[in-house]
Chain A
Amino acid sequence: GQSLEQPSEVTAVEGAIVQINCTYQTSGFYGLSWYQQHDGGAPTFLSYNALDGLEETGRFSSFLSRSDSYGYLLLQELQMKDSASYFCAVPKGAGTALIFGKGTTLSVSS
């Protein structure tokens, strides 16, 4: 089966940089995704890594090391609106449902 571990909470101030780590155990690997979810809302896709290295999308970047079964989400120039829960997720199989980590609650203060 699959399992993912990530920190439960992270706090930071506006303008700072935050890194949210995720370690995973999977029976097969089909990529690591990151989703953002605001309170009461739906998860929204942030990024995906299938190969080792860094993927950059604006203020958000995601990194993957398959040999270490590890990835992270990097959020730069934090804004208050970035306060949300962030989930790492892996597919059960190719093109299938996602298994989510427990989520990291990010609180950004001014």
Chain B
Amino acid sequence: GAVVSQHPSRVICKSGTSVKIECRSLDFQATTMFWYRQFPKKSLMLMATSNEGSKATYEQGVEKDKFLINHASLTLSTLTVTSAHPEDSSFYICSASTGTDSYEQYFGPGTRLTVT
């Protein structure tokens, strides 16, 4: 099956700093990728849809200036958490599908962000 990677897997940063998380589709091209956030023992919450070559589409309540998304190529989307605060600590997961008619999404292994 298709493989999606994320980097880093874990990151600890200080309040006020910014952190960039990369999501790559390794063996397929993804014009669209999705970013989710998950708190412990909770569900995955959709944050935004990342579109290659255009602006991301953010879900209601997600601050686009805080969570910057860039999808510069067909295999790479990045999520930058700007001016991070402890409440941004979470598990961030990206996903992609192999086509618009594909129902299966492939998830990256996730990035555990801890803001101190």
Chain A interfacial positions (CB closer than 8 Å to B): 30-31, 33, 40-45, 48, 50, 87, 91-92, 94-103, 105
Q: How many residues of B contact A (CB 8 A)?
A: 25
Question: How many A-B contacts if CB must be within 8 Å?
Answer: 57
Chain A contact residues: helix, strand, loop or mixed: loop
Instruction: List 15 additional contacts besides A42-B108, A43-B107, A97-B34; criterion CB under 8 Å.
Output: A33-B103, A45-B105, A48-B103, A50-B103, A87-B43, A94-B100, A95-B100, A95-B102, A96-B49, A97-B46, A98-B44, A99-B46, A102-B42, A102-B43, A103-B43
Query: Do A43 and B103 have beta carbons less than 8 Å apart?
Result: no
- Cα distance A91–B31 in the bound complex, in angstroms: 17
Chain B contact residues: helix, strand, loop or mixed: loop
- Cα distance A99–B44 in the bound complex, in angstroms: 8
